[in-house]
Structure 1
Amino acid sequence: MKKILPAILLALLFILTASSVGYAADIQMKVDGVTILAEVKPEMKNNRMMVPLRVISENVGANVHWSGTEVALTKNDRKIVLTLNSDKAVFNGKTVLLDAKPYLKDNRLFVPLRFLAQSFGCTVNYSHTTVSVDTKPFYIDGVQVAAVQEEIQMTMGSIVDELQGHAYIETMYNLLMQNKGNEVEAPARISLNVHNRLPGDYDQVVQIDFVGENGDSITSFGLYAEVPSEGEDEGEPKVVIYAETEKRWYAFSSKASQEIWELNAIAGKNGFLTMISNTTP
C-alpha cells in the first residue's frame, strides 16, 4: 500500500502538469472580437499573460522602434519604453514597475499584455482559455466606423475585401488623410478597361469605403494611378485620390499607397482582412 500511494501521487502530478501545459498552449487571443492568427500564441508566466510584442503592437496600432535592448512603442500621444529582462518601463516619461519582465523566446520578445493594452487605452478580459482585448472605437464626424470595404476593379468583375479592427481602421483613415497633397484637376480620362487604356489615362487602384454599423457609407476615397507611356520608366506611379465627401481630387503619395497594401497584408495575416465579394469569372 505504501508503494502504491506514491505512484498514484506521481501519476496525479503528471496529469496536472500536462493539463497545465496544455492550457497554456491553447490560449487564444482576440482583439475587437477577431481571433488573432499568430504563429506564436500567448503564454502564462508567473500567473501573468505574456504575448509576442509584434502581436500586440500590430493589432492596437502602435509603432515599434528598437534600440539595443530597449524597444519603444508609440501611438498618438502615448509612448512606452521597455527593456529586455527589466521590471521597469517608462510610460510617457515616467518610470513604472512591471509585474512581469519582458523576455526573449524563440527570437520573439514576450511582453506583459495587460500593461501594454491598458497603457494604450484598451480593455482586457479573460474567459476560460481566451483573452480578449478591445481597443477604442474609431469615429468619423461622430459616427462609429464598423469596417472598411475595399473594392478592386478587375478586367471582368471586382473583388471586395473588408478590413476590421479599430486600430486598422484608424490607421487606414490616417494614411489617406495625412498623405493627401495639393488639390488637383480631375483626370481627363479614367480607364475602366485594361485593354483600351492609353498613356496618361488613370486606372482605379482601389475604392475605399468607411461604413457604419448599419452598413451605410460614412465617407469614401478612390485611389487612381496614371498609365505610363510605352517605354517610359515606370518608377513610382503618379497617384491621385478622390475624396467623395469633399467631391475633390488631390495628389497622393505613391509611398503611402504602398503602405496601404502593407497594412492590408498585416491585417490579413492577423485575421482582420477578409474577402466578402468576388464577381470575377
Structure 2
Amino acid sequence: MKKVLASMTLTLGLLAAALPAYAADQPIKIDGVAIKSDVKAEFKNNRTMVPLRIISENLGAKVNWANSVVTIAKGKLTLTLQPGSATAVKNGVKLPLDVKPYIKNNRVMVPLRFIAETFGSTVNYSDSTVTIDNAPLLIGGVKVAALQNEFHMTMGGMITQYYGNANIEAVFDAFEANIGKKVDAPSSYSWQVNLDVPGSYYKNGQFEFLDEQGKSLTRYDIYTLLHSVPEEQLAGYEEILLYNATEDQWYTFSRSAYETISQLMNTAALNGFSKVISNTIV
C-alpha cells in the first residue's frame, strides 16, 4: 500500500509539474489570430498569466506605466493594476484578483481571463488553445468585417486591410471621439503635394470601414497642412482636417488622435491583423 501511495504521489507530482509547461505552450488567439509574445504565458493558481501589454494592446486598449502602477484605458473604461497587489480598480471601483500581477523579464504578467472579460471579451479554452473573441463593430446595424487603409506617395501607393473586431472598433472609436467642429472644405487638397497654394492640404490616408461583401459603410480621410510658405501666411489654418466622405463633411481633427489611430494600426499589423491588398510603391 505504501508503494502504491508513493507511486500515486509521484505521478500526481509529475502531473502538477507538467501543467505549467502545458499552459505556457498554449497558443492564444484573439479574434482568430494567433498572438506572438517574447514572454510565454504561465499557469499560476489555476489561472493563465500573460504579458499585460500583449493582451491589452491587442484588445485595442492603451497601456501606461507610472509610479509602479499600470493603467489600461479603452474608451470610457479605465483599469489600474499594481504588481504584488490582489486588488484592481475599474473606473474607481475596487475588484479582487485571484492572482496578483507580477513582473517577469521586465513584463507585467496578469490573469488573462480577468483582463479580457473586463474589456468585454469572451474567453474560451478549446483544443489546447486559448481563444479571445470580441463582438463585431456595427455601423447602421451592419457588421464591419475589415478596415481598409489607402495611402499614396509620389511613386505609387498601398492598400492594406486590417482585421480583428477589437482593433477595428478601437480605430473607429478614435475617429468618433475626436471629431472636432465642422469647417468648410479647404481650397486645395489632394494626394499630390501642392507647394504653390498657401493653405494646401495633403491627404495622408483614407480609412474605410467595409462590410462582409467589401462595401463601404463609412470612410474618413485625414489631411495635414503643408508648410510650404512663411508661417504668417498660414495663420488661421487648421493643422489637421478630417473629411467624412460618407457625409461629405469636413471637421477639425487633432494630431494626438491621428497618432493614436496610427499606433493602433501599427500594433495590429505587427501582431498579424493586416493584409496588403495592393502595393505599387516603387
The answer to whether residue 25 in structure 2 is matched with residue 26 in structure 1 is yes
Contact 2:88 2:95 in 1 (8 A): yes
Which residue of structure 1 lines up, in the alignment, with residue 196 of structure 2? 198
Contact 2:19 2:43 in 1 (8 A): no
Q: Deviations over 1:169-208 (max 9, x none)?
A: 12211222232222222222234444x6534332211011
CA–CA distance in 2 between the matches of 1:121 and 1:177? 20
Note the C-alpha offset of 1:148.
0.7
CA–CA distance in 2 between the matches of 1:260 and 1:77? 17
The answer to whether residue 109 in structure 2 is matched with residue 110 in structure 1 is yes
The aligned runs of 1:1-281 (5 Å cut-off) are: 22-194=21-193, 197-200=195-198, 201-230=200-229, 238-281=239-282
Contact 2:75 2:173 in 1 (8 A): no
Tell me the SS of whatever aligns to 1:218.
Answer: strand
Contact 2:189 2:202 in 1 (8 A): yes
Q: Deviations over 1:38-65 (max 9, x none)?
A: 3223222233100111112212233334
Which residue of structure 1 lines up, in the alignment, with residue 5 of structure 2? none
Fraction of identical pairs, as percent: 44
Contact 1:27 1:43 in 2 (8 A): no
Call closer, same or farther: CA 1:121–1:150 in 2, change over 3 Å.
same
Unpaired segments of 5 or more residues in structure 2? 1-9
Contact 1:100 1:112 in 2 (8 A): yes
CA–CA distance in 2 between the matches of 1:179 and 1:21? 44
Match for 1:175: what amino acid?
Answer: A
Tell me the SS of whatever aligns to 2:58.
Answer: helix
Contact 1:164 1:272 in 2 (8 A): yes
CA–CA distance in 1 between the matches of 2:166 and 2:212? 16
CA–CA distance in 2 between the matches of 1:223 and 1:61? 20
> Which range moves more in the overlay, 247-256 or 93-102?
93-102
Q: Deviations over 1:98-134 (max 9, x none)?
A: 2222111011110011112112221111123321111
What is the CA RMSD across the aligned residues, in angstroms?
3.1
TM-score of the two chains, using structure 2 as the length reference: 0.82
Note the C-alpha offset of 1:268.
1.9
Tell me the SS of whatever aligns to 1:261.
Answer: helix
Note the C-alpha offset of 1:92.
4.5
Contact 2:195 2:228 in 1 (8 A): no
CA–CA distance in 1 between the matches of 2:188 and 2:71? 46
Contact 1:151 1:208 in 2 (8 A): yes
CA–CA distance in 1 between the matches of 2:16 and 2:212? 45
Call closer, same or farther: CA 1:84–1:253 in 2, change over 3 Å.
same
Tell me the SS of whatever aligns to 1:246.
Answer: coil
Aligned residues: 271
Call closer, same or farther: CA 1:207–1:19 in 2, change over 3 Å.
same
Call closer, same or farther: CA 1:185–1:96 in 2, change over 3 Å.
closer
CA–CA distance in 1 between the matches of 2:94 and 2:208? 42
CA–CA distance in 1 between the matches of 2:157 and 2:244? 21
Unpaired segments of 5 or more residues in structure 1? 1-9
Which segments of structure 1 move beyond 4 Å, counting only runs of 4 or more? 12-22, 230-234
> Which range moves more in the overlay, 185-194 or 32-41?
185-194
> Which range moves more in the overlay, 70-79 or 116-125?
70-79
Call closer, same or farther: CA 1:177–1:97 in 2, change over 3 Å.
closer
CA–CA distance in 1 between the matches of 2:190 and 2:61? 38
Note the C-alpha offset of 1:267.
1.8
